[in-house]
Structure 1
Amino acid sequence: MQKRHLTKDLEVSALGLGCMGMSEFYGPRDDAQSLEVLHRAVESGLDFLDTSDMYGPFHNEELIGRFLKETVQPVKIATKFGIVRQPGAYERHLDNSPAYARRAVEGSLKRLGIERIDLYYVHRVNPDEPVEETMAGLAGLVKEGKIGHIGLCEVSAATLRRAHAVHPVSALQTEYSLWTRGVEDEILPACRELGVGFVPYSPLGRGFLTGAYSDPGKLAEGDFRAMLPRFRDAALASNLRIADLVRERAAAKGCTPAQLALAWLLAQGEDIVPIPGTKRLRYLEDNLGALDIAFSASELAALDCDLAALPVAGARYTAEGMKGVEV
């Protein structure tokens, strides 16, 4: 397995595994199937698992905790706090206070069954709470050995700099893919200026870039993509041109659309570690194949040129989902 450094003392596999969909948002869950995927992932050399206390809520961390009791393979755990939800509800509020962070990390440690979280993210930044106070609280948890590294999610370059001035930020996680590239303007340059690793979530566009989701009416009950603006009506019809382009380029490259999309991200820099999520073995194996795909400079330039002619229609989230998103 190829390795990459998010920061100088945090080395992880070049691909991670996003575990959110094992618990909710993408249809029914199947713990036995998910555990099988987790075992196969680490057997393949993947050692970077991404979860959050709000996935479930709590179920995903509990599932990862079950897996950690079953495996002897060394893994690094990234989890998050700051989004507060009630079970069965999509509505949320944000709490970044140091007091809540302490309660949240204790809960995560207990559910995961570990003594130290390798990477602890602020899941969404509350604009009403100074990020400096949040970072100071997290710095205390680092000193106590409860967390190894601090991360931020979906923040602006300005917020990243403010946070990093209080305590080093090791990784920034934000949506980034062939159809979500806003981070390239300011966020990625700021990360590289500060030595902060970048972790793209939804690197396959929530599965859209694989070409598998052309009709929201065919999504499983409870699949939240059906309410996302990019997956609806006229926006979906327009965006299908992007999926078609990815499919055509993948065919010419001799790989699958998922492999092309992930390999493109990996080619954007050695400081980038995508975390594609899946709860199915065949998709895991497909994603791992991206590590064998390489692009020439001319291939990357041609793909960028063609994508620039296909603007993305629709917002990434609903208004509720955009709470705390700065980019």
Structure 2
Amino acid sequence: MSGTPPAGTITLAGKTVSRLGLGTMRLTGPGTWGDPPDRAQALDVLRQAVHTHGITHIDTAHAYGPHTVERLIKDALHPYPEDLLIATKVGLEAWPAPYKWTPNGDPAYLRNSVEGSLCRLGVERLELCYLHRIDPRFPLAEQVGTLKSLQSEGKIGHIGLSKVSTADYQEASKDVAVAAVQNVLNIHDRYDPVQELCRDEGIPYVPYRPLDAGSAARDGALATALAWLLQLGPHIAPIPGTSNPQHLADIVRAATDGGAP
């Protein structure tokens, strides 16, 4: 692996990784469904992120494609560098035509999703596995309890939460040690009380949509948007996404210029 970690490092799921991660939802096809229109370019983005730019935190999900991106990650990067953290998410079911996501917290579905992610990524353990969405049809304790059981079996290393409120976090943390929280936060959507809670608890906060689905870049505020996030504290680890190698290079340069401690 080459390159200096953009914007410094953070301890996430027991590993020291780059504070700037790579979100991978945009590597799927049109409408975030199916294979990418240019598979070779998608593989190139993943390889450049890790081997050229020094990004050691890749974020993905069972639902991206669905399954497509986890397979791309394996094809691009396996066998994985020792210092690479691949985080994935389960608990969101993808439906085509029209594309939509539906929370599914059925314990059997969560278990099957973890087993599938293990196979697609080619690993024996998911080092960081988020509950992608809370399903209101099932008690939260049952959903995180399923992940905790899989953790006890050695199939999950650390458990995270995604798109949660402070009340959700507090309820889940009664049953599991929450390793990270992933919520929306960006220069256009600036307040999330969970970010402050994570800061106070010393837990990594992983903003998704850190560039507001690209609108910050279109506004010419790429460096400003990333610098604003990173200055919130050392617990912040944004995961901007792209399917374009040049855009990836622009993101890394902006984060390096504006976020290094």
Change (3 A) 1:58 1:209: same
1:283 aligned to 2:247?
yes
Report how many residues are paired.
249
Which residue in 1 is equivalent to 2:10?
Answer: 4
Which structure: greater helix fraction?
1
1:79 aligned to 2:50?
no
Task: Name the aligned partner's letter for residue 48 of structure 1.
Answer: H
1:128 to partner: Cα distance: 2.3
Cα deviation code 1:82-124 (max 9, x no counterpart) = 1112344423332113222111100011111111111111111
Task: Name the aligned partner's letter for residue 234 of structure 2.
Answer: E
Task: Name the aligned partner's letter for residue 78 of structure 1.
Answer: A
1:29 aligned to 2:62?
no
1:70 to partner: Cα distance: 6.1
Out of 169, 185, 189, the residue aligned to residue 180 of structure 1 is 189
1:98-113 → structure 2 map (5 Å cutoff)? 98-113=107-122
SS in 1 for 2:205: strand
SS in 1 for 2:157: strand
Cα deviation code 1:161-196 (max 9, x no counterpart) = 11011111111111110001231xx21122223332
Which residue in 2 is equivalent to 1:237?
Answer: none
1:295-306 → structure 2 map (5 Å cutoff)? none
Cα deviation code 1:221-261 (max 9, x no counterpart) = xxxxxxxxxxxxxxxxxxxxxx3xxx3xxxxxxxxx21221
Q: Which is further off, 173-182 or 189-198?
A: 189-198
**C-alpha separation in 2, matches of 1:272 and 1:163:** 21
Sequence identity (%) = 40
**C-alpha separation in 2, matches of 1:81 and 1:166:** 18
Q: Which runs of 5+ in 1 are unaligned?
A: 212-242, 248-256, 296-327
1:74 to partner: Cα distance: 3.8
Which residue in 1 is equivalent to 2:223?
Answer: 259
Task: Name the aligned partner's letter for residue 91 of structure 2.
Answer: G
Q: Which runs of 5+ in 2 are unaligned?
A: none
The answer (yes or no) to whether the contact 1:170–1:196 under 8 Å persists in 2 is yes
**C-alpha separation in 2, matches of 1:149 and 1:101:** 15
Cα deviation code 1:31-73 (max 9, x no counterpart) = 1001111111111210111111111111111111212336556
The answer (yes or no) to whether the contact 1:4–1:271 under 8 Å persists in 2 is yes
1:108-119 → structure 2 map (5 Å cutoff)? 108-119=117-128
Which residue in 2 is equivalent to 1:54?
Answer: 63
SS in 2 for 1:165: coil
SS in 2 for 1:4: strand
SS in 1 for 2:195: helix
1:195 aligned to 2:202?
yes
Change (3 A) 1:32 1:143: same
Out of 12, 18, 26, the residue aligned to residue 13 of structure 1 is 18
TM-score relative to the length of structure 2 = 0.89
SS in 2 for 1:128: coil
Q: Which is further off, 92-101 or 45-54?
A: 92-101
Change (3 A) 1:169 1:72: closer
Which residue in 1 is equivalent to 2:102?
Answer: 93
Which residue in 1 is equivalent to 2:214?
Answer: 207
TM-score relative to the length of structure 1 = 0.72
Cα deviation code 1:273-297 (max 9, x no counterpart) = 00010111111111111233348xx
Change (3 A) 1:84 1:289: same
